[in-house]
Chain A
Amino acid sequence: MTESVRLRPPTNRLNPRCLAWWRVRFALVVLPLTLVVAVLGVLLVPALLILAAAIGVVGSAVSVLLPAWWYRVHRWEVTDRAVYTRTGYFWQEWRVAPMSRIQTVDTARGPLQQLFRLATVTVTTASAKGAVEIAGLDAQLASSLAEELTETTQATPGDAT
């Protein structure tokens, strides 16, 4: 009998509105591309219309399916001791930063994120490679989380190196 050891997935999923956010982000790339190729097809080379259709079909499929998959893969968790995230599938990555070593907590909201009331929380430590990012939290949850984290870290003395 052997023992298998593995990292458990963090408990929380991102906000479901992330699905819409990611899809719009894809659409913003796929739609103009399809349109440009289609216009060129109408004006110059009819064969390009087929290409436009292909881009449209593949693009829509990706826009629908990939975010659904991302939603399953990206997870996060904040305990009273640490911040813990999991991202990626092909290159899966788990990151842990202990509360006692957190230096800054940033929240950022891009224009699209504002539209969907989402925010990104970035937690940095003194390490150049240790930042933990949670992209796609409810904006309100994000700001209360940031506040909570800031309070916890201020309670810890030292320069966290």
Chain B
Amino acid sequence: MTARPDQGVRAVGTFERLDRRMVVMRTLVTSGIVLIAAVPAGMGIHAEGRSIPGTLGILAGGVAAIMIVTMLGEYLRWRATRFRTTPERFEWRFQLVVTRRRSLARERIRTVDITASPLHRIFGLATVVIGTGQQAASGEAGVKLDPVARTRAEALRVELLRRTPAAEPEDEARTRQQAQQLEQQQAPLATLDWRWAAYAPLSFLTPALGAAVIGFLANVVSLFGPVGGLVDDARDGARQAIADVAVGATMAVVLALVTLVLFVAAAGAVGAALLFVEMWWGYRLDREADGTLRVRRGLLTTRSISLEERRLRGVEFVEAPGVRLARAGRVDAVATGMQHGGGSERTDHKTLLPAAPRRTAHRVTSAVLDEPNAPTGVPLAAHPRAALVRRLRWSLAPVLVVAAGFGVAASLTEGWRADLAGTAMWLCLLGGVPIAALVAWDAYRNLGHALAGRYLVSRGGAARRSTVALQRSGVIGWTVRQSIFQRRVGLVTVTATTAAGSGGYQVRDVGEADGLRLAEEAVPDLLGPFVERTAQS
């Protein structure tokens, strides 16, 4: 081989490959799927008149062919993928017919997440996802190494997140020693309390999970023809009952419905609890010596999520509807460079603490932010009454419109239809109006804002209450919005824009003077020069 111009570069950090066990692992997975698929295929071939040995021969040939193709493909992929760490950059390249390269500046690397599915764990492997701060729409922002050896993954995490890549060797040794000492001294910021599992079934997912279980059972039942007849019988029975409108039969239907609802609820609760166990088993939140927060959790699939503290701009305390009734909530990180909008996977990536009692959440928040008191727990200034009026209008309008619709229908029709529409109208008015009013009152009471030390705190939300504490130094602009309706009653919505989290956090329907003063005080010199004050008598 002749000398190549890039050999000198290569000496700095040598290229390495993914773990070679990936070929075996992927081939095994594919063969598993193929073998399962082979059963119905074999039945089909046999039914077409082939003998059993002939059928088996065809199947074996097919399975073997697919396995070989997979193995070859995975081998090529393994050969083609290489990565290395140099003092300045992390480089990844894929060289097979076409060459794809990705090079991340190491100082831009913000997250190194490690996940290991059960299959990975059997082989002692893990997936590493390296993310930069970019909020790219596609997956271009980061690099995924799938798989590397578990120990290598851990080493990569430490290596890539260490802040001083070019430190002197002895310095490095010393810092590492200090780091180890620190790690030993520091207890985790939070560990799992099994009582939190009780909040899991309160999630809105519960009914959906229950329905999924029922759907699955129904499918299983319908697989068995004669038993499936029962379902038809039941349906016919229900029809009969409705047709008869006999009190006894109706009672039976009601009973059946109640049983079904209870069953769905129970199945959902069990499902949610199981999901919680899978997701949060072994949960612990640590502050690592290298200035990162690290969440480790997971029963079957283990996850390790690291977040540089330098990127943390605050936290969000989220009280989901059911959980809020139990006076609990979860804590999410508000950090720059977090990809969002990518579905629920991303949501749990930023979760620092699962739904836990408020006091625990505040304690963890204050530990995470290194503040004596959790800013999400401070008393907040209420917003003007006009905000309540707006909320009442929003929540009552749809109810009244629907009620009016029924009213019109009642006046236009005759007989039982008019009765039905009339009843519906009254139900709407008597049931809907108080509920709507309560929702509006709750949404109004949830509004609040404050300045707590280094943090700007804002709370809002109707059923799902969310309190965000945003570092004042993380505010990189203001948007003040005032609709013509708000102008009439002297309200504004102030949005603090930030590089972190969702990009902007609102203080909704705050009094005009209060809101502007808040913005002015939170970040002096930014909005200040554009605010004018006039004395009014």
Contact = CB atoms under 8 A, between A and B. Distances in A.
Interface of A: 1-8, 10, 77, 79, 81-82, 84, 89-98, 101, 125-130, 132, 159-161
B484 A89 contact: yes
Contact of A4 (B336, B479, B495, B513): B513
Interface stretch (B61-69, B154-162, B499-507): B499-507
B479 A8 contact: no
B482 interface: yes
B466 interface: no
Contacts of A90: 483-484
Nearest to B526: A98
A125 to B, nearest CB: 5
B497 A129 contact: yes
A89 B482 CA distance: 9
A137 to B, nearest CB: 19
A7 B480 CA distance: 9
B535 interface: yes
Contacts of A1: 535-537
Given A1-B537, A5-B517, A159-B133, A128 B527 contact: no
9 contacts: A1-B535, A3-B533, A4-B536, A81-B526, A127-B504, A129-B479, A129-B495, A130-B503, A161-B476
B477 A96 contact: yes
A125 B532 contact: no
B338 to A, nearest CB: 11
Interface in B110-156: 133, 135
A98 B497 CA distance: 11
Contacts of A10: 530
Given A5-B513, A5-B516, A127-B476, A96 B530 contact: yes
A129 B536 CA distance: 35
A8 B499 contact: no
B481 A93 contact: yes
Contacts of B483: 90-92
A127 B133 CA distance: 12
A160 B533 CA distance: 31
A84 B517 contact: no
Given A3-B535, A3-B536, A81 B529 contact: yes
Given A126-B336, A128-B503, A101 B477 contact: yes
Contacts of B536: 1-4
Given A7-B530, A92-B487, A98 B481 contact: no
Contacts of A77: 530
B531 interface: yes
B534 interface: yes
Interface string B236-253: 000000000000000000
A138 to B, nearest CB: 23
Given A2-B535, A7-B531, A8-B530, 17 more contacts: A3-B536, A4-B536, A5-B533, A8-B531, A10-B530, A81-B525, A82-B529, A93-B480, A96-B479, A96-B530, A127-B498, A128-B135, A161-B133, A161-B311, A161-B337, A161-B474, A161-B476
A6 B512 contact: yes
Nearest to B474: A161
A96 B532 contact: no
A77 B530 CA distance: 10
A2 to B, nearest CB: 5
A84 B497 contact: no
A6 B531 contact: yes
A128 B136 CA distance: 11
B478 interface: yes
A81 B526 CA distance: 8
A96 B476 CA distance: 9
Nearest to A79: B529
A7 B477 contact: no
A91 B526 contact: no
A50 B500 CA distance: 55
Contact of A161 (B336, B512, B527): B336
Contacts of A91: 481-484
B77 to A, nearest CB: 34
B478 A96 contact: yes
B497 A130 contact: yes
A4 B533 contact: yes
A73 B229 CA distance: 71
B516 A6 contact: yes
Nearest to A100: B476
Contacts of B532: 5-8
A146 B480 CA distance: 24
A5, A8, A159, most chain B CB atoms within 10 A: A5
B410 to A, nearest CB: 36
Contacts of A3: 513, 533-536
B504 A130 contact: yes
Nearest to B511: A5
B531 A94 contact: no
A130 B503 CA distance: 7
Contacts of A2: 535-536
Contacts of B525: 81
A101 B523 CA distance: 13
A128 B516 CA distance: 22
Contacts of B484: 89-92
Contacts of A89: 484
Given A1-B537, A92-B487, A161-B133, A125 B477 contact: yes
A160 B504 contact: no
Contact of A92 (B336, B477, B481): B481
Nearest to B495: A129
A74 B79 CA distance: 59
A97 B476 contact: yes
Contacts of B480: 7, 93-95
Contacts of A93: 479-482
Nearest to A127: B497
